[in-house]
């Protein structure tokens, strides 16, 4: 029978991240290419009986399923697989929950500020269609920049809000394309940033074009 080999990373939890502190090379056969089988191999390589959890590079637990049965899943060198003690993994999950809760609070606070301003502008326009906000060229440029996409530089379409810098950063399509190749925030470059679509803001931005003129 054919043997396969794969590098696995034994990790610890540091802050909000799972970081490798040891590597092991495991040889396994086709019938061993399952979550319990690989876990037992890693434990044997570490000479430890400590209960482990296998995760992907993002810290998501790998569970036994049809997709994880067979060497095709386990032998791919491009797929990083981490082994973390169960106790450390539970601590990591609790930390992630606290971090997400903090981000949601910040997002709610920042989005409330944005939507309040936009609602006021919309109310001005709907109450009197002839109402115009007059500003000089510099002020108009600043306002356009504030509501322009950082990727395509055009007017925002389905605006996305970044929690890390509490800013609107771009169009939904542009931001999603950016996140396919980068984990950094478009504006402040923080790693693993959270972004959310600002529902209803697209309509308000259309209204702004009717109530802003350059003096």
**Domain boundaries along the sequence of the chain:** 3-91, 132-214
Task: Round to whole Å and give the CA distance between 4 and 198.
Answer: 48
Q: What's the half-sphere exposure (Cβ side, CA atoms, 13 Å) at 10?
A: 19
Q: What kind of architecture, by CATH, is found in domain 132-214?
A: 2-Layer Sandwich (3.30)
Lowest mean pLDDT among 13-22, 79-88, 103-112: 103-112
Fold of the domain spanning 3-91: Ubiquitin-like (UB roll) (3.10.20)
Mean of pLDDT values over 39-50: 88
Cβ-Cβ contacts under 8 Å for 202 (sequence gap 6 or more):
156, 157, 158, 159
Cα separation values, 13 from 101, 103, 160, 170, 200, Å: 19, 20, 31, 33, 40
Q: Is the dihedral of CA 60, 66, 71, 77 positive or negative?
A: negative
Q: Give pTM, 2 decimals.
A: 0.46
Determine the pLDDT at residue 139.
63
Cα separation values, 176 from 92, 155, 183, 189, 201, Å: 26, 16, 11, 15, 18
Reported as a single tens digit per residue, the pLDDT across 140-196 is 676 677 778 889 888 788 888 887 877 888 888 999 888 878 878 888 887 766 788
Q: What is the percent of the chain with per-residue pLDDT over 90, rounded to a whole number?
A: 7
Residue 122 has pLDDT above 80, yes or no: no
Determine the pLDDT at residue 173.
92
Q: Which two tokens stand for residue 143?
A: 């306002």
């Amino acid at each position: 029978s054919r043997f396969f080999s794969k590098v696995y990373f034994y990790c610890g939890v540091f802050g909000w991240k799972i970081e490798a502190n040891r590597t092991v090379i495991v040889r396994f056969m086709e019938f061993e290419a399952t979550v319990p089988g690989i876990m037992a191999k890693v434990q044997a390589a570490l000479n430890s009986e400590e209960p482990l959890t296998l995760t992907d590079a993002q810290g998501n637990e790998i569970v036994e399923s049809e997709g994880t049965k067979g060497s095709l899943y386990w032998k791919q060198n491009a797929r990083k697989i981490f082994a973390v003690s169960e106790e450390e993994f539970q601590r990591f999950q609790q930390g992630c929950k606290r971090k997400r809760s903090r981000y949601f609070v910040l997002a709610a606070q920042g989005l409330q500020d944005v939507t309040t301003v936009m609602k006021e502008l919309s109310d001005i326009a709907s109450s009197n269609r002839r109402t115009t906000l007059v500003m000089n060229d510099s002020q108009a440029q600043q306002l356009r920049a504030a509501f322009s996409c950082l990727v395509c530089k055009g007017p925002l379409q389905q605006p996305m809000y970044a929690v890390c810098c509490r800013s609107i950063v771009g169009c939904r399509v542009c931001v999603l394309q950016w996140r396919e190749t980068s984990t950094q925030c478009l504006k402040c470059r923080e790693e693993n940033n959270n972004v959310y679509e600002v529902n209803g803001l697209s309509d308000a931005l259309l209204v702004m074009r009717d109530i802003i003129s350059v003096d």
